[in-house]
Amino acid sequence: MVATKTKANTKRASERKKNSTERKVNALHQRLARLTVHQANQLLGENSKTLLMAGGDLEIDPYCDVLLDDDMYRVRLPSGQTVTVTLQSARDKHLQIDCSHCTHHCEHMGAALSYLLESKSDLGLAAPPDESVALEHLTEDELFERALAERRKRAEEESMTVRASKADTPWTDYVVTSAGSGKTYRVALRGTEPGISYCSCPDFRTNQLGICKHIFHVIQKIRRKFSAAQLKKPYVRKSLSVRVHYQQPFGLLFNVPEMLPPKISSLIGNADRIPLEGTAMMERIQAIEEAGVSVHVYPDAEELIHTRLLQKHLRGVSAKIRKSPATHPLRKKLLSVELLPYQLDGIAFAVGAGRAILADDMGLGKTIQGIGVAELLAKEADIKKVLVICPASLKSQWQAEINRFCGRSSQLVMGSGSERAKQYREDVFFTICNYEQVVRDLSHVESASWDLIILDEGQRIKNWESKVSKMVRCLRSPFALVLSGTPLENRLDDLYTIVRFVDDTRLGPAYRFFHKHREVDDRGKPIGYKKLDELREALKPILLRRTRDEVSKQLPDRIDEVVRIRPTAEQYDVSQSQLSIAARIAAKKFLTEMDLLRLQKSLLLARMVADSTYLIDEQEPEFSSKLVRLGEMLEELIAEPTRKIVMFSEWTLMLDRIEIKLAQLGCDFVRLDGSVPQKKRPAIVSKFQNDPNCRLILMTNAGSTGLNLQSANTVINVDLPWNPAVLEQRIARAHRMGQKNPVHIYNLVTEDTIEERLLDTLANKQELANAAIDFSSETDAVTMKSSIANIREKLEKILVPAPEAPVDASQKRRLESQAEEIDNRREKVSAVGGQLLAAALQLVGELVSTQDGPAPDTVVVSQLTNSLNECVERDESGKPKLTIRLDSDEALRSLAQTLARLLVPSS
């Protein structure tokens, strides 16, 4: 009996423990799901914003480094630290955060919280808006009631302040401010039923409910303030007005007062119940006002009417162009280069849509089409201010393309916060910023009046819960264009988010969209998608996608594209240092063999650092904006199933770094460089040529000799060779007889480095090379120069920068200041080093002179002086600088130790 009782007690204790654990798990997940930026700041203390920002820059692998367990959220950082977030207890639901290496708030904690805030959907803690488990199993009526209930609950739980324009009636206008977001909205309360009132918040415009949490909150307030009798009295309209009907069907409706002449009633017809389009509403307004009755048009209705009338005009322009883009005169006149027919068609499509997604394959010219859209809208809609939002690595590329194709004024947003704030207000046609700047500068970006917003790499906003996505979707403009080769990757959620930026009513609210298009199992887990034919039909007016195969007949057989990349500060400093050394050597009147060796090394290091600092010192952290941009390019190229890529680099170490990127992308590839034996090469080439899963071959110049790679349709030159013939030999591996597809060549060039200057000299060299074999060439003579003279001429072209587009003034001042600071620092180090060496040698001389022996031979001293002069350079004041070469870093340290012993007297 006692044993049975003990067993029962043990079972009950176990069940209590299990239930307690489940409550704690639910509490933890709920608490993490509701964590806001403000609460994260409270967790991290007074330096929270700095820690969150610094932590957000740390890379986290979600598959290997993140764990959301039953009772904890844990993040392991690449540098070894582990951050754990738990509940102090299930009852008070307070979060506790700990770092394995730090005893205080740190950037590692910032990284864990930053990732959590950005990736709640991926962690299963948050879903797209208005979505909940098993939503797809509800009926239409249940779905509607669920959406209403969610907003009613938010109205009860969230803190808001309400100010009424009139105190004696419930049916008036209110100003509602949310304590959570700090944002203020206008509520026009005309009753308690959905569809009667209005709110200026984004949710009211898009949820198709006719009500929102702000309206619910005001209703709750007036029910406590006014009597039932006062609430029963309906709102009495005194004037005729026009409003937007945000429910289905979407359109414009008349608000009709009680007393209206029969003639006016007949002109209105049923337009107080069935919404009208912009043109039809405008015609009725004009007829009513001509009959002597004034019509008040609310601001959102006025904006909609204007937009619809302008779109009608633009659709007419678009239709004329798209009827025959190949023969339309704008192909040659719209931009400073001739457009391909499909490119002009894409421009016309986007202009006709007003707000569109251009989802062409990579390499088909989405950037030039984006510039063309802006140019055509400037001609037809008189737009004057365009905001381009792109990844930071593409900003200068955009400016270069704008300068090349249309010549409109442009600026890169750079500098301090106050400088950036001023730049958004500048009277410049194109303003180019990156996604992270939008997050930092949202208030300044929002306050500017943009006519057109272009999102390049628009898939950056696909994650609904991310801060970048939320901030970008806050921006408003009459016209919008999203450029993305991959608007839909793994989830329909991604496409839904991007479409919402372009047209927030097209796909309806999230709860209806997912109910319609997603299949779930009994537990509410997504298992597939449905009615995709209806989705495609809904997207046709705003989304255009062309693959390379579809437009291959319009493509030239070879497309060359220069991909310009801004260097990191570390790359820039090393590059400028090496080019300065090379310039000083080249300026000497007489070049010795030692000079030529030093010159060769400086130029080699300058070329290598344009790829990555790792090629110079093989040290982490690695600084390489080129590898970052290359990773972005490869992600998009590999997503196209017909791409076969040949990638060249001068250096095997750079190929090693690229292999790491390919492994992260899960790309099957082969490699062929000079170290691969001849007998193994056929198998490697065969795998690339014949295996559809092998998408890329990595090569050096030495590995490419004599190969035919006709299966490739893309060549990426990671770096530029000295010789244009070598560049053409690389390209000829794919672009040759037997190639049936157009070949796209990408030349990656790091700006403000030797590569940018090489780009111009390669073009000049090629012109001279063609003079001998091109029968259409007009060059009839080439002068042969001495080898030294030839070297000097080449160096002048490489070391002296070509004229560039105007640099942003703040950027220029900052770069000049940094360069001056670096030069001053080096001069100080050089001077101190010279003084130290001179003092040590003087000490040695004095020690030697005190010993018995003859004085040094003056002839030998003169000979040594002349020999040392070979290694001496002189500064502007004529002071000598002695340069010596050591075998290794150890030799340098050994020299320093010897000098230290000489200078410090023994005790």
Q: What residues contact residue 390 under an 8 Å CB cut-off, 6+ apart?
A: 398, 432, 434, 435, 455, 456, 457
Q: Please classify residue 362 by burial: count the beta carbons closer than 10 Å to its beta carbon, then call 0-12 exposed, 13-18 middle and 19+ buried.
A: buried
Q: Is residue 600 domain-resident? A: no
Q: One-letter amino acid identity for 696? A: L
Q: Which domain holds residue 152?
A: 135-305
| Residue 731 near residue 746, CB atoms below 8 Å | no
Asked if 722 and 770 sit in the same domain, the reply is yes
Q: Are residues 268 and 296 in the same domain?
A: yes
Domain shared by 268 and 357, yes or no:
no
| 648: Cα within 13 Å, side-chain hemisphere | 27
Task: Give the tens place of pLDDT for each residue, 458-476.
Answer: 888 887 777 888 888 889 8
CB 96 within 8 A of CB 86: yes
> How many domains does the chain contain in total?
5
Residues 610 and 527 both lie in one domain: no
Q: Coil, strand or helix: which one is 98? A: strand
- What are the two backbone dihedrals, phi and then psi, of residue 537, each rounded to the nearest 5 degrees? -65, -40
360 backbone dihedrals φ, ψ, rounded to 5°: -65, 155
Beta strand 743-750 pairing with 558-565: parallel
Angle CA 465–468–471, to nearest 5: 95
- The verdict on residue 693 lying in a domain is yes
Q: 321: closest CA among 331, 310, 335?
A: 331
Report the pLDDT value the prediction gives residue 779, as an integer from 0 to 100: 42
Residue 580 is assigned to a structural domain of this protein: no
Tell me how crowded residue 737 is: count the other CB atoms within 10 A of its CB. Answer: 7
807/737 Cα distance (integer angstroms): 43
Q: Do 815 and 791 share a structural domain? A: no
Q: Which of 799, 834, 863 is the last residue of a domain?
A: 799
Tokens standing for residue 407:
């010549």
| Residues in the chain where the model's pLDDT stays below 70 | 1-26, 63, 89-93, 121-122, 126-138, 486-490, 521-524, 702-708, 735-740, 760-907
> Is 293 within the bounds of a domain?
yes
Q: Per the domain annotation, does 763 fall within a domain? A: yes
Beta strand segments in 159-317, E: 160-164, 173-178, 184-188, 198-199, 241-245, 251-255, 296-297
Q: Tokens 């220069």 sit at which residue? A: 562
Per-residue confidence (pLDDT) for residue 119, from 0 to 100: 75
Token pair in block for residue 409: 């004024």
Is 617 part of a structural domain of the chain? yes
Can you tell me which residue has the tokens 């079972």? 11
d(CA 556, CA 559): 6
Q: Does 527 fall in a domain?
A: yes
Asked if 150 and 88 sit in the same domain, the reply is no
533 lies in the same domain as 461 = yes
Based on the domain organization, do 439 and 519 belong to the same domain? yes
CA 124/CA 756 separation, integer angstroms: 46
* pLDDT score for 87: 84
Backbone phi, then psi, for 254, in 5-degree steps? -85, 135
Q: Per-residue pLDDT tens for 304-330? A: 898 888 999 999 999 999 999 999 999
How many degrees, rounded to 5, is the angle at CA 874 between CA 870 and CA 877? 160
pLDDT score at 871:
58
Two tokens, residue 58:
């740390």
Tokens linked to 794: 């080449």
On the question of a cis peptide bond just before residue 78, with omega within 30 degrees of 0, the verdict is no
pTM: 0.62
Give the CATH number, domain containing residue 520.
3.40.50.10810
- CATH number (domain holding residue 762): 3.40.50.300
3-state helix, strand, coil in the chain (%, to 5): 50, 15, 35
Q: Classify residue 445: in a domain, yes or no.
A: yes
H or E stretch at 347: helix 341-353
pLDDT attached to residue 769: 38
Instruction: Provide the residue count of the chain.
Output: 907
Are residues 214 and 98 located together in one domain of the fold?
no
Do residues 840 and 794 both lie within one domain?
A: no
The answer to whether residues 191 and 249 belong to one domain is yes
If asked whether residues 169 and 255 sit together in one domain, one would say: yes
SS3 336: coil
pLDDT value of position 777: 38
